């Protein structure tokens, strides 16, 4: 007895869609407004600007409260660490069930500085999800130059 398989003209197309689904999750194609808020955590974008006497570091931290941010300044680097805890709850009294989702994310970023700064003179300000750090440059103490005679031979 021979098993007959039904011909499916769309089988090749289904396999191709399956292949794309493996490489590109559906969230990749969704508009950003429809994405779940728990999936929108990313590492902060950072700019370091030389302002003459000081460096200004600007980091984008949308959705993170200033109480959840830790900043550590060293002479040649800045470390930014933050935690975001999200808990969504809804009670549906009509159906008698409870809905709850939780998310926890944490990031740590160490930004190397090419100019040494004075850690104890650093100032930080957070406004509308933008962290600004003012980092005073370390001014080298001019050494007293001693003059000495060099004998030419």
Return the pLDDT at 33: 41
Per the CB < 8 A criterion, the answer to whether 41 and 105 are in contact is yes
Q: Is residue 131 part of a domain?
A: yes
Q: Is residue 10 part of a domain?
A: no
Q: Output the pLDDT for position 47.
A: 94
Examine residue 31 and state whether it is found in any structural domain, yes or no: no
Whether 153 is covered by a domain: the verdict is no
Phi first, then psi: what are they for 23, rounded to 5°?
-90, -35
30-54 core/surface letters (b: 16 or more CB in 10 A; e: else): eeeeeeeeeeebeebebebeeeeeb
**Domain ranges, residue 105:** 36-136
Cα 126 to chain centroid distance, Å, stands at: 15
Domain-embedded: residue 27: no
Q: Does residue 145 belong to any structural domain of this protein?
A: no
**What gap in Å lies between CA 57 and CA 74, rounded to an integer?**
13
Instruction: Report mean pLDDT in 10-residue bins for the chain, 153 residues.
Output: 63 68 57 45 82 94 88 93 76 63 80 93 93 90 64 70
Q: CATH number for the domain including 117?
A: 2.60.40.790
Q: Write down the residue that tokens 């805890």 correspond to.
A: 85
Total tally of structural domains belonging to the chain: 1
Task: Specify if 141 maps to a domain.
Answer: no
Contact predicate 107/36, CB 8 Å: no
- Per the CB < 8 A criterion, the answer to whether 75 and 115 are in contact is no
pLDDT at 17: 65
Q: Is residue 19 part of a domain?
A: no
């Amino acid at each position: 007895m021979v098993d007959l398989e039904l011909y499916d003209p769309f089988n090749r197309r289904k396999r191709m869609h399956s292949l794309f689904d493996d490489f590109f999750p559906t969230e990749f194609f969704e508009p950003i407004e429809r994405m779940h808020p728990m999936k929108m955590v990313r590492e902060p974008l950072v700019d370091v600007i030389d302002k003459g006497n000081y460096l200004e570091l600007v980091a984008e931290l949308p959705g993170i409260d200033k109480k959840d941010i830790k900043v550590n300044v060293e002479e040649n680097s800045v470390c930014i660490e933050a935690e975001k805890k999200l808990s969504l709850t809804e009670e549906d009294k009509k159906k008698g069930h409870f809905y709850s989702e939780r998310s926890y994310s944490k990031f740590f970023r160490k930004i190397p500085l090419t100019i040494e700064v004075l850690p104890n003179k650093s100032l930080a300000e957070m406004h509308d999800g933008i962290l600004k750090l003012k980092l005073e440059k370390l001014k080298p103490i001019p050494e007293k130059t001693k003059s000495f005679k060099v004998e030419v031979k």
